[in-house]
Amino acid sequence: MPFSTLPSLLGEALAARGYEAPTPVQAAVLEPEAVGRDLIVSAQTGSGKTVAFGLAFADQLLQDGQLPAPQTPLALVIAPTRELALQVSRELMWLYGAARARVATCVGGMDASKERRTLSHGAHIVVGTPGRLRDHVERGALDLSSLKVVVLDEADEMLDMGFREDLEEILDAASPERRTLLFSATMAKPIVQLAKRYQKDALRISTVGEDRGHGDITYQAVTVSPSDIEHAVINLLRFHEAETAILFCATRDNVRHLHATLVERGFSAVALSGEHSQSERNHALQALRDRRARVCVATDVAARGIDLPSLSLVVHVELPRDAETLQHRSGRTGRAGKKGTAVLIVPYPRRRRVEAVLKGARINAEWIEAPTPEDIRKNDRERLITTLLEPVEFDDEDRALAERLMAEKSPEDIAAALVRAHRAAMPQPEELMENSPEARRAAQQERHRPGFDDTVWFRMDVGRRQNADPRWILPLLCRRGHITKNEVGAIRIMPSETWFQVPNAIAGKFAASIARTADAQGEGEDGVRIERAPGEPPAQGRRPHGAPGGHAGPRPPHGRPARPAHRGRRPA
């Protein structure tokens, strides 16, 4: 179906944006049976639904192809988050730009008095979040009596976020003669109830599975040891070198930790979670749009409504809770006809669960191994050659400096120095555990070792929060306990402490050596306290009460122990 059937002002705006034909959801809302009716629409993220409802209510706004003078609003669009509302406003502004539409945006975190002044000057379309819109309605600043159409964008999400009362008050205040367009990814019971109360003879439209949906997104699943999750993140970022990438974590604690780790490693990264203020979120998003940052670490709620045209890589650092969350996260990329990649990092024990989620989402993911350092170096070489061979304009100062260099060094040495400088600016990749059946079994259960049938557990008061890692723990134990690394059994690193096994036959000697190398407070010169444990460590996967994160979540990079603030020297 061509756009030529639309009013000329909208058709020209779409052509200017490169639209040649409507997406399935856009075509569906323009069908004769949908014209003028209430609609319930299910469409996947990135399917063009904002333009779809903008086109759907064109007949209600335009009179003889033109908009009337702005007075009380004719269309109201309600979105769950500030970011999504701003995105919708931008889309409607260019779509109705030639018609000189006045679009007012009313969202939390902005100057409410300025919004009221804007509304008092008249608007054709108002876009906002439920809480702020309700506030303007109650204050009399937003008059909904002339509304021709109301759009509820991501209605299921608004109900999940507790906006039912706000939505009901807004809809009750709107003109009863309006159209109501309800866009929802799911048709849960609350959505059905809302539709029955506020819609009349609504037409059900579903383009899930019909539009491009996953077509522009390549899904990959990477199996790793639980201890290698963060290393896999680093290697994926280095392998793809995406213009913009987003990493999803389950909690704000893990967002904070992973963001700090990436910044330390040299990545230009920003963080988005519920603990960030609106101003901080604005600055983070602007840094991504300005290319000052290339990586965003975020929780699901913080990332809702984000639209970054340059986003080409999504990494599920912590697994999504269900198929819908997987689709929403992944749908941040592969938008408007662009290609994107979504990667799930799957700890060995979670593979079956992930396979079930993928099946429920009808996604065919390619199961691959995490990029190795050699894979990354190979990509780096190709990217560097491509970059250096691109046409570049040089000024006189550039050429003068080049002549000076040529007088001092050979062209080969200058090129080698340039390559070296380029590599030095890039974060180094990580070595990962071997991904084989034997390695996976070893990661899920400790191998039997001769001499470790009868062992004693000891513990030390550093853990993941202090970047505890076997690479520096083993030498510390050998030095303090006067034993060899082969005399240390299983090591279990927890949030605030680390447990390890020593054969019972040498436990007494080990304990005595630890005591001789400790000060009066029981700490060694490295600031670490080691003592015999009263029993066995907590079961794998469980964490002490109140400790954030879990063994399958992000963890600090190996070999970078952080010194606790109250301690002396860093462990060697």
H-assigned helices in 241-305: 252-264, 278-289, 300-303
279 phi/psi in degrees, rounded to 5:
-65, -45
Nearest to 334, CA basis, from 89, 85, 45: 45
Q: How many whole angstroms separate alpha carbon 143 and alpha carbon 259?
A: 44
Structure tokens at 389: 């061979």
Q: Give the pLDDT confidence score for residue 438 in this predicted structure.
A: 52
Q: Rounded to the nearest 5°, which phi and psi values hold at 436? A: -135, 165
426 within 8 A of 470, measured Cβ to Cβ: no
* Nearest one of 140, 126, 131, 132 to 173, comparing CA atoms: 140
Regions of the chain where pLDDT drops below 70? 1-4, 44-46, 208-215, 302-305, 335-337, 433-452, 539-572
Q: What is the pTM of this model?
A: 0.53
pLDDT of residue 544: 35
Q: Quote the pLDDT of residue 425.
A: 73
**Which domains does the chain show, CATH number per domain?**
3-206 (3.40.50.300), 213-373 (3.40.50.300), 449-572 (3.30.70.330)
Interatomic CA distance for residues 181 and 183, integer angstroms: 7
